[in-house]
């Protein structure tokens, strides 16, 4: 399909230029996916589809627009792009909207990022159904009489994309993705019905955990929440589990993005070169990590992808600033969005850390929550386990953490040795001290 996509992109650029565009950027791609879910030991949802589409970004007379179509027939494409150019000329001027300087396209790494499972085409319908059934059965068996309902799902896809610009860039990306997951609702005391899930996303099928392990983990997680209760408001150490810690970190990351900085909605806008977290906190953005879901040799604007240290030993080093906002801010561009976010792991397991912390809370999930990108104030509901000297006391829920990102990240005390492998956020469980946890 690669050559077909190249031909479509080239044709689209030719049409845009001949229709009066000053410049344009075209992305054209295709995807095939299969999704299967089971509930009550029967197939609930079976989908299989192949899609193909084209997105064109038009730059004309200091004006900009982007439009998409899935009708790729030659006569339709010509009319679509011609209309896109004509309609763009009616928009308000935005002199900051241009293609990047071609110098930012140079120096792309010639590296195999291992994004494709070579056995993707060999995955059979029978094996997909067997995988989902095994997850469901394992979850039901582990959940026992407490299980009210279980849904198990698998998904896999193969996608391919060409990005091309009228000022000299062209790049090709393709990847496979596999997902397996199970969710369970259990009967608790009274009318409480906690839910939990477990799952994994990988680039190759063989990297997925065994389906029986996924199902059993989901059930184990929900059973651990039964009998959850509040405790009195208390200042405690907390450990945020690796699989959910990125959600808490989103409030910090948000303030590192160009749009928030330019619109004066970032509490980090003037903090570059300053200490914003404890020395434990180092954040690396690595788009060139083989076998990782966020990897690529160029970003969505075609700029060459590079490994960057965003926060080093607590000091803010970089922001996520794409071409457009770099022009509005008068800054050097980096990239507009994260790729693989990595916090280097520590040396100790969570259970070992718990023994030294005394009384604390191991947070395994968040509920609701909000974070103010302008002030850094954040508030979020938590669920998890109260522990004391390494032993679980009882589950907790209906509790809340309210703090400020510029303060709480200064109290980051340790990173565990368990970076989460099933996400572009490869972050370990993180330990914070002196956190006010609001309860009764």
Question: How many Å apart are CA 353 and CA 364, to the nearest integer?
Answer: 16
Q: Are residues 283 and 299 in the same domain?
A: yes
Q: Are residues 215 and 235 in the same domain?
A: no
At 187, is the pLDDT very low, low, confident or very high (cuts 50, 70, 90)?
Answer: very high
At 439, is the pLDDT very low, low, confident or very high (cuts 50, 70, 90)?
Answer: confident
Whether 191 shows a pLDDT value over 90: the answer reads no
Q: Are residues 181 and 319 in the same domain?
A: no
Average pLDDT of the residues in 413-429: 97
Question: How many Å apart are CA 264 and CA 258, to the nearest integer?
Answer: 10
Q: Are residues 237 and 181 in the same domain?
A: no
Q: Is 182 left (phi over 0), alpha (psi -120 to 50) or beta?
A: beta
Q: In this structure, is residue 114 part of a structural domain? A: no
Q: Are residues 399 and 427 in the same domain?
A: yes
At 440, is the pLDDT very low, low, confident or very high (cuts 50, 70, 90)?
Answer: confident
Q: Are residues 215 and 232 in the same domain?
A: no
Q: In this structure, is residue 111 part of a structural domain? A: no
Helices (H), 280-402: 323-329, 350-357
pLDDT, tens digit, for every residue of 95-124?
A: 999 999 999 999 999 999 999 999 999 999
**Average pLDDT, rounded, for the chain:** 96
What is the separation of C-alpha 32 from the centre of its chain, rounded to a whole number of angstroms? 21
Question: What is the full DSSP assignment across 77-106?
Answer: HHHHHHHHHHHHTTSPP-TT--PPPGGGG-
pLDDT, tens digit, for every residue of 81-96?
A: 999 999 999 999 999 9
Q: Are residues 417 and 294 in the same domain?
A: yes
Which helix (H) or strand (E) segment holds residue 18: the answer is helix 2-18
Parent domain of 182 = 120-160+171-223
Contacts of residue 140, Cβ cutoff 8 Å, sequence gap at least 6: 147, 150, 215, 219
The structure tokens listed for 137 are: 């059965």
For 170-227, list the strands marked E by DSSP: 170-186, 195-202
At 11, is the pLDDT very low, low, confident or very high (cuts 50, 70, 90)?
Answer: very high
Question: How many Å apart are CA 219 and CA 222, to the nearest integer?
Answer: 5
pLDDT for the residue 409: 98
Q: Are residues 253 and 354 in the same domain?
A: yes
Average pLDDT of the residues in 384-402: 95
Question: How many Å apart are CA 298 and CA 302, to the nearest integer?
Answer: 5
Contacts of residue 84, Cβ cutoff 8 Å, sequence gap at least 6: 16, 56, 58, 65, 67
Q: In this structure, is residue 402 part of a structural domain? A: yes
Q: Residues of the chain with pLDDT > 70: what percent?
A: 100
- Tally of domains in the chain: 3
Regarding beta strands 359-371 and 234-240, do their DSSP bridges make them parallel or antiparallel, or are they unpaired?
parallel
Q: In this structure, is residue 436 part of a structural domain? A: yes
Q: Are residues 234 and 208 in the same domain?
A: no
pLDDT for the residue 148: 96
pLDDT for the residue 340: 98
pLDDT for the residue 265: 97
Final residue in a domain of this structure, among 99, 128, 146: 99
Whether 313 shows a pLDDT value over 80: the answer reads yes
Q: Are residues 251 and 354 in the same domain?
A: yes
How crowded is residue 423: how many other Cβ atoms within 10 Å of its Cβ? 18
At 190, is the pLDDT very low, low, confident or very high (cuts 50, 70, 90)?
Answer: confident
Q: Are residues 377 and 291 in the same domain?
A: yes
Q: In this structure, is residue 109 part of a structural domain? A: no
Question: How many Å apart are CA 300 and CA 318, to the nearest integer?
Answer: 19
Q: In this structure, is residue 315 part of a structural domain? A: yes
At 1, is the pLDDT very low, low, confident or very high (cuts 50, 70, 90)?
Answer: low
How crowded is residue 439: how many other Cβ atoms within 10 Å of its Cβ? 15
CATH number at residue 143: 3.30.2290.10
Final residue in a domain of this structure, among 68, 99, 130: 99
Q: In this structure, is residue 66 part of a structural domain? A: yes
pLDDT for the residue 178: 98
Q: In this structure, is residue 112 part of a structural domain? A: no
Q: Are residues 24 and 130 in the same domain?
A: no
Whether 338 shows a pLDDT value over 90: the answer reads yes
Average pLDDT of the residues in 213-239: 96
Question: How many Å apart are CA 133 and CA 285, to the nearest integer?
Answer: 37
């Amino acid at each position: 399909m690669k050559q077909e996509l190249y031909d479509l992109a080239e044709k689209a650029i030719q049409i845009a230029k001949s229709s009066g565009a000053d410049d344009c950027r075209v992305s054209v791609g295709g995807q095939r996916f299969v999704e299967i879910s089971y509930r009550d030991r029967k197939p609930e949802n079976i989908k299989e589809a192949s899609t193909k589409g084209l997105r064109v970004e038009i730059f004309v007379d200091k004006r900009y627009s982007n439009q998409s179509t899935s009708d790729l027939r030659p006569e339709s494409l010509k009319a679509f792009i011609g209309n896109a150019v004509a309609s763009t000329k009616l928009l308000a001027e935005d002199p900051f909207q241009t293609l990047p300087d071609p110098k930012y396209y140079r120096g792309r790494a010639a590296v195999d990022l291992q994004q494709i499972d070579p056995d993707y085409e060999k995955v059979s319908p029978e094996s997909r159904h067997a995988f989902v059934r095994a997850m469901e059965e394992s979850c039901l068996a582990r959940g026992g009489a407490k299980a009210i309902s279980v849904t198990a799902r698998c998904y896999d896809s193969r996608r391919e994309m060409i990005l091309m610009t009228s000022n000299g860039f062209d790049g090709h990306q393709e990847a496979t993705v596999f997902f397996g997951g199970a969710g369970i609702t259990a009967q608790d005391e009274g009318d409480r019905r906690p839910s939990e899930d477990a799952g994994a996303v990988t680039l190759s099928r063989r990297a997925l955990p065994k389906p029986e392990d996924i199902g059993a983990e989901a059930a184990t997680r929900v059973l651990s929440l039964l009998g959850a209760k509040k405790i009195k408001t208390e200042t405690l150490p907390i450990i945020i589990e690796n699989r959910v810690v990125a959600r808490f970190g989103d409030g910090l990351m948000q303030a590192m993005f160009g749009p928030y900085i330019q619109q004066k909605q970032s509490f980090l806008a003037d903090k570059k070169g300053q200490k914003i977290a404890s020395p434990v906190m180092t954040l690396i953005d690595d788009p060139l990590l083989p076998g990782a879901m966020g990897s690529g040799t160029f970003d969505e604007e075609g700029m060459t992808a590079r490994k960057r240290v965003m926060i080093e030993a607590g000091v803010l080093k970089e922001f996520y600033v794409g071409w457009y906002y770099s022009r509005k801010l008068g800054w050097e561009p980096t990239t507009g969005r994260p790729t693989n976010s990595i916090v280097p792991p520590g040396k100790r397991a969570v259970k070992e850390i718990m023994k030294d912390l005394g009384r604390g809370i191991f947070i395994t999930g968040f509920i609701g929550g909000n974070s103010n990108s302008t002030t850094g104030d954040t508030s979020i509901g938590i669920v998890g386990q109260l522990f004391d000297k390494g032993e679980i006391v009882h589950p907790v829920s209906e509790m809340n953490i309210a703090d400020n990102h510029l303060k709480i990240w200064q109290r980051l005390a340790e990173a565990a040795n368990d970076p989460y492998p099933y996400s572009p956020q490869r972050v370990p469980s993180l330990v914070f001290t002196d956190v006010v946890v609001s309860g009764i």
